[in-house]
Structure 1
Amino acid sequence: MNETTTHALSPQDCLVAMMIAVSASDEDIRTSELVKIQSAVNNLPVFAEYDIDRMNGAAQIVFDLFEQEDGLDALFGLVREHLPPRLYETAYALACDVAAADGALGEQELRLLEEIRYELDIDRLHAAAIERGARARHITA
């Protein structure tokens, strides 16, 4: 990863990176997770001005970092550097939605969500509400 890639990250790229990271955390990116990511990017106001062609670059950053020993720490560093704090809860909510998209939360996904809560300093009560909302949206009959 070069300097221009690092400095080119938009807040939306950071949100996409967090969603991709959760999806890739168990080394099995599921179709339901990709559909959830695509749906979020296509429909949420925070992505209204986002160039969808940037998604591949954001995803590649995640994949490259996940191959490195301290890649997750580096990813959080990039996110904290380029994502305004007012969007930290949005990042966590999107991550929860992606994690819940396939109907099952694996151990790796749960650990990464915990790490996101910690790294982005998400209040415990707010996190519980966000998690409950994700569960409610993805429950099956």
Structure 2
Amino acid sequence: MTETESHPLTPQDCLVLLMFSVSVSDTNIRTSELIKIENQVNTLPIFGTFDIDRITVLSNMVFDLFSEEDGLDALFGLVHDNLPEKLNETAYALCCDVAAADGILREGEIRLLEEIRDQLNIDRLHAAAIERGARARHMTV
């Protein structure tokens, strides 16, 4: 029995999976990205009922999925099955914040954000606003 079968994915699990996928997308997980994920999970209302012990399971799930040929498709299948549509923009915003956390958007992150935007049917204008907000929140002097 897999972890997904023994513990169905919650909407919060899906958000965490997507955030970790952005961090892993350029094959170099940065401390600033992990801190961003942890801070978001610890402070945002959407994660108020989230079981923090799931973090390790979910990060390992992302690594396992990304090691498979069709892993990204499987990830999006899980997200489509378990994330309510009303949280699509929230998911994209969280992912943009993770990508912006280190101040540099790398090619892998950009490509995955585009794919997430498409998979979650985020309107281009809304996506631009979300992206601009993430950039503004992560500016340095």
The total of aligned residue pairs comes to 140
Deviation >4 Å, runs of 4+: none
Q: How does 1:29-40 map to 2 (within 5 A)?
A: 29-40=29-40
Q: Distance in 2 between matches of 1:62 and 1:32?
A: 18
Secondary structure, counterpart of 1:77 in structure 2: helix
* Separation in 1, partners of 2:40, 2:27: 21
Instruction: Using the TM superposition, give the Cα deviation of residue 58 of structure 1 relative to its aligned residue in structure 2, in angstroms.
Output: 1.2
Equivalent position of 2:105 in the other structure? 105
1:1-141 map, 5 Å: 2=2, 5-6=4-5, 8-141=8-141
How well do the aligned residues superpose, as a CA RMSD in angstroms?
1.1
Q: Give the Cα–Cα distance (whole angstroms) in 1 for the partners of residues 84 and 74 of structure 2.
A: 17
Identity across aligned pairs (percent)? 67
1:20-51 deviations in Å (ceiling 9; x for gaps): 00000011100000000000000000000111
Output the amino acid matched with 1:5.
T
C-alpha separation between the residues in 2 aligned to 1:60 and 1:121? 26
3-state SS of paired residue (2:53)? helix
- For 2:62 and 2:87, the matched residues in 1 are separated by 19
Name stretches of at least 5 consecutive residues in structure 2 with no aligned partner.
Answer: none
**Whole-Å Cα distance in 1 between the matches of residues 125 and 56 of structure 2?**
33
SS of residue paired to 1:52: coil
CA distance in 2, matches of 1:88, 1:56: 23
Unpaired runs of 5+ in structure 1? none
TM normalised by structure 1 equals: 0.96
